[in-house]
Amino acid sequence: MGKLEKWRELIQNGSIILFWDTKILEQNLKQLDREGFEIYSFDCTLWNEKNFHEVLANTLNFPDYYGKNLNAFNDCLSDIVPKEKGFILTFKNYDVFTKRYPSIAYDILDIIQLNAWRNLIEGNVLLGFVQSNDRNFSMPPVGGMSPDWNSDEWLDKNREL
């Protein structure tokens, strides 16, 4: 039996994967790029309750009729069909956005997790990579699954705790 594809290793505990160390995040992104994933990255440092919709819409090429609300985000995200295996939404500095807008931050990840299951049924993969500068970052269960740290940072000591 061959080596397990990286995305299969990562998705075992849900489609939302947490990262603290940006080097580990970048290593995973490079490997998944080689596996045929489209990668979309967002720096959430300057996001607020309004502009994050514009950033998502522009980066993900949402149609002009995008309603700039979470229901519209869910609808447009569900319409994305990857060219190859799947796609990854990478949110850097998500802890900054989460501190300011915890409910919206939660809802975004919940929508991604729910769409990830739909994608799997259709033979595609959607992953959400969440980078946090807070080593203790956590999020309530999204789509019925608790976002967990990647395997390299799963142990507290690997996040220098």
Instruction: Please tell me the pTM assigned to this model.
Output: 0.93
> Is 112 inside a domain boundary?
yes
CATH number at residue 80: 3.30.370.10
Question: Per-residue pLDDT tens for 111-148?
Answer: 999 999 999 999 999 999 999 999 999 999 998 888 99
Return the residue matching tokens 């705790």.
Answer: 161
Helices (H) and strands (E) in the chain, counts: 6, 5
pLDDT band at 12 (very low <50, low <70, confident <90, very high): confident
SS3 state at 48: coil
Residue 4 buriedness (CB in 10 A; 0-12 / 13-18 / 19+)? exposed
Tell me how far apart the alpha carbons of residues 32 and 8 are, in angstroms, rounded to a whole number: 10
Q: How confident is the model at residue 47 (pLDDT cuts 50, 70, 90)?
A: very high
Residue 161 lies in a domain: no
Mode of pairing for the β-strands spanning 125-131 and 86-92: parallel
pLDDT digits (tens, 9 = 90+) for 60-117: 999 999 999 999 999 999 999 888 889 999 999 999 999 999 999 999 999 999 999 9
**By three-state DSSP, how is residue 19 classified?**
strand
pLDDT for residue 143: 85
Owning domain of residue 109:
6-153
